[in-house]
Amino acid sequence: MQIGKVPGNILKRSVTNLIGGSPVSSKDCSLLSDGTGGVLASTQVGVADSVLSPRFAVYKAANNVWAAGGELLGVQAAFLLREQVEEPELKALTRTVIKACGDCGTFLSGGHTEVCRGLTDTLVTVTAIGSTGSGLRPDISLVRPGDSIVASKWAGLEETAYIIKDARRRDMLRKRFSDRYLETIEDCDQWLTVAAEAHAASDFGVKAMHDASDGGIFGALWEMSEGSRSGIEIDLKAVPMRQEIIEISTYFGLNPYRMKSAGCLLMAAGDGEGLAKALEANGIPACVIGHFTDNNDKIIHNGEDSSYMAKK
């Protein structure tokens, strides 16, 4: 199989059918509930070939808890070490995960550490654990045709952070852009958590939320369409972009709408303009980028041109 998320049809046949469930696109948390409240859990994987990957795994797992309307309680991590790892590397990895937990306002509560035969890279699996009350939670099943789609911050943040923090690719960018220009996007890794917008949106009465990570903003929109069993119409010019990200993606031949975009939260609401204003009032950039429809079409409008969104 190709590297990346397992396709939904394979996931359904080989995993979820066997555990008695079916995958719901855009739902990235498990819920254990007794009817009066419950526990949320979301797992992400980081590869320790980069100091950013384990850190971002924590952010993305936490984002999924917040997007489900939960409060973050703690993080569990399993360190699966290749045989060549020495103790200083393990200590540095632990500190990275602890620091990322602190960035999310929580702590590393425990986990598992094991040296594994055959691994070429050390892996970190992160599980964020959260709680939810007995009230109505955001849920993709609540979405109806006509509801607006609101996006916070900007698309392409996560992948831009990987690029800008990589010494080799940073040197490549310096051949095209000045250091002063690149400094404007230098700290984009600090924008990858969505706690502030998720809490503000929950207070407003948002219907559903989904962090745009792997697959980018187009991938997240596709999943929200599939999960709600609705079509979508998107105004491409309304999708929030920073000029620096557009320039960097063009330089490396990347599609900014497919770039990893953790930190860009997609939200569904009956009053999209009202939600965007509520987020802006909390200092969070946000705008309406489209709406849900009563069919299965996924349409992108770009000025006078329109096209159907491709799955990949």
Express the helix, strand and coil content of the chain in percent, nearest 5 each.
35, 25, 40
Domains of the chain, each with CATH number or no CATH: 25-132 (3.30.1330.10), 140-308 (3.90.650.10)
Q: What is the model's pLDDT at position 214?
A: 85
Dig out the tokens for 260 from the structure. Answer: 């990893």
For residue 153, the model assigns a pLDDT of 97
The closest alpha carbon to 268, from 151, 156, 120, belongs to: 151
The DSSP 8-state label assigned to residue 70 in this structure reads -
Please report, for residues 25, 113, 145, 148, 267, the alpha-carbon distance to residue 234 in angstroms, rounded to integers and kept in the order given.
18, 44, 13, 10, 13
Strand partners, 306: 301
H-helix or E-strand spanning residue 29: none
Residue with tokens 């990949």: 312
Query: What pLDDT score does 135 carry?
Result: 67
User: Which residues are CB-contacts of 231 (< 8 A; sequence separation ≥ 6)?
Assistant: 145, 225, 292, 293, 294, 295, 296, 297, 298, 299
Beta-carbon count within 10 A of 168 CB = 7
| Euclidean distance between CA atoms 285 and 212, whole angstroms | 15
pLDDT of residue 24: 65
pLDDT attached to residue 26: 66
- Give CA–CA dist 163/265, Å, rounded: 21
- Virtual torsion, Cα 138, 144, 149, 150, nearest 10 deg: -40
Q: Please give the structure tokens belonging to residue 68.
A: 């489900």
Give the CA angle between residues 119, 106, 29 to the nearest 5°.
65
Residue 260: the pLDDT is 95
Place of tokens 């049809």: 9
- For every one of its 312 residues, what pLDDT tens digit does the chain have, with 9 covering 90 and above? 766 666 667 767 777 677 666 556 667 888 887 666 789 999 999 998 888 999 999 999 999 999 999 999 999 999 999 999 999 999 999 999 999 999 999 999 999 999 999 999 999 999 999 998 766 789 999 999 999 999 999 999 999 999 999 999 999 999 999 999 999 999 999 999 999 999 999 999 999 999 998 889 999 999 999 999 999 999 999 999 999 999 999 999 999 999 999 999 999 999 999 999 999 999 999 999 999 999 999 999 999 999 999 876
The C-alpha angle 307, 155, 96, rounded to 5 degrees, equals 145
Residue 68 and residue 24: Cα distance in Å, rounded? 13
Predicted pLDDT of residue 137: 84
Q: Beta strand 298-302 with 231-235: parallel, antiparallel or unpaired?
A: parallel
Q: Is the dihedral of CA 202, 208, 214, 219 positive or negative?
A: negative
Q: Which helix (H) or strand (E) holds 310?
A: none
Tell me how far apart the 2 most distant CA atoms of the chain are, in Å: 59
CA distances from residue 253 to 166, 182, 246 in whole angstroms, order as listed: 17, 18, 10
**Contact yes or no for 299/149 (Cβ under 8 A):** no
